[in-house]
Amino acid sequence: MPRQPHDIQCSVKQYRLARGWSQEELAERIGIRRQAVYDIESGRYLPNTAVALRLARIFGCRVEDLFVERTPRERHDIHLIGEDVAPSTRLALGRVRDRLVGFPLQGAESVPFGLRSADGLLAPDRKRAEILLPADRLERTIILMGCDPAFEILGQHVSRMSPDARVHCRFASSHRAIEGLAEGVAHVAGTHLHNTGKAESNVLLAARTLRRGRSRILGFSLLEEGLMVARGNPLGIRTVADLARPMVRFVNREAGAALRVLLDDHLRRAGIRPEDIGGYRNEVGSHREGAYRIVCNVADAALGLRAVAEVHGLGFVPITAARCDLVIPADLADHPIIRILLDVLQSAALRREIDTLPGYDGSVTGKLIAEPTPEAQPE
Terminal Cα distance for the chain, rounded: 70
* Res 2 pLDDT > 50: no
- The answer as to whether 55 is a domain residue is yes
Distance between CA 60 and CA 63 in Å, rounded? 10
Asked if residue 161 is part of any domain, the answer here is no
Instruction: Give yes or no for a contact between 267 and 274, defined as CB atoms under 8 angstroms apart.
Output: yes
Kindly report which listed range (15-19, 139-143, 168-172) carries the lowest average pLDDT score. 15-19
- Residue range 280-301, pLDDT digits in tens: 999 998 999 999 999 999 999 9
Q: Is residue 174 part of a domain?
A: no
| Shared-domain flag, residues 199 and 337 | yes
Domain that holds residue 207: 185-379
Query: What kind and span of H or E run contains 360?
Result: strand 360-361
Average pLDDT over residues 223-238: 97
The C-alpha atoms of residue 102 and residue 216 are separated, in whole angstroms, by 24
Q: Are residues 210 and 346 in the same domain?
A: yes
- Rounded to two decimals, the pTM is 0.77
- 149-163 pLDDT, tens digit per residue, is 999 999 999 999 999
Q: Name which of 118-127, 164-173, 243-252 the model is least confident about.
A: 118-127
Rounded distance between C-alpha atoms, residue 296 and residue 314, angstroms: 11
Percentage of the chain exceeding pLDDT 70: 93
Is residue 205 located within the same domain as residue 350? yes
* CA nearest neighbour of 176 among 220, 223, 144: 144
Phi, psi of 325, deg, nearest 5:
-115, 155
Last residue of a domain, one of 48, 69, 90: 69
pLDDT on residue 88: 83
Distance of alpha carbon 287 from alpha carbon 302, whole angstroms? 8
Residue 254 forms part of a structural domain:
yes
Residues 57, 48 contacting (CB under 8 angstroms): no
Q: Are 253 and 279 in contact, with CB atoms under 8 Å apart? A: no
Task: Write the single-letter amino acid at 2.
Answer: P
Q: What is the 3-state secondary structure (H, E, C) of 175-244?
A: HHHHHHHHCCCCCEEEECCCCCCCCCHHHHHHHHHCCCCCEEEEEEEEEEEEEEECCCCCCCCCCHHHHH
How many residues are listed for the chain in this entry?
Answer: 379
**74 class by beta-carbon count within 10 Å (0-12 exposed, 13-18 middle, 19+ buried):** exposed
Q: What is the CATH number of the domain that holds 331?
A: 3.40.190.10
In the chain, how many domains are there?
Answer: 2
Interior/surface letters 79-92, b for 16+ CB within 10 angstroms, e for the rest:
ebbeeebeeebbbb
Find the helix packing angle between 201-209 and 174-182, rounded to 10°: 30
Q: Which of 352, 364, 256, 236 is nearest to 301 (CA)?
A: 236
Res 3: pLDDT: 42
Give percent of the chain above pLDDT 90. Answer: 73
Torsion of CA 286, 287, 290, 291, to 10 degrees: -140
The average pLDDT across 118-138 equals 90
Q: For residues 283 and 304, give the distance between their C-alpha atoms in angstroms, rounded to a whole number.
A: 13
**Chain segment 364-374, per-residue pLDDT in tens:** 999 999 998 76
- pLDDT tens, position by position, 305-319: 999 999 999 999 999
Query: Among the three residues 22, 48, 69, which one is the final residue of a domain in this structure?
Result: 69
Residue 148 belongs to some domain of the structure: no
Q: Tens digits of per-residue pLDDT, 98-115?
A: 999 999 987 665 655 556
Mean pLDDT score of the chain, rounded to an integer? 90
β-strand partners of 303:
227
195 and 332 share a domain? yes
Mean pLDDT over residues 56-73, rounded?
Answer: 82
Residue 273 counted as domain residue:
yes
Domain containing residue 42: CATH number: 1.10.260.40
298 within a domain of the structure (yes/no): yes
281 occurs within a structural domain: yes
**Residue that is last in its domain, among 40, 69, 98:** 69
What are the residues whose beta carbons fall under 8 Å from the beta carbon of 151, sequence distance 6 or more? 111, 144, 167, 169, 190, 220
Residues 241-268, mean pLDDT to the nearest whole number? 93
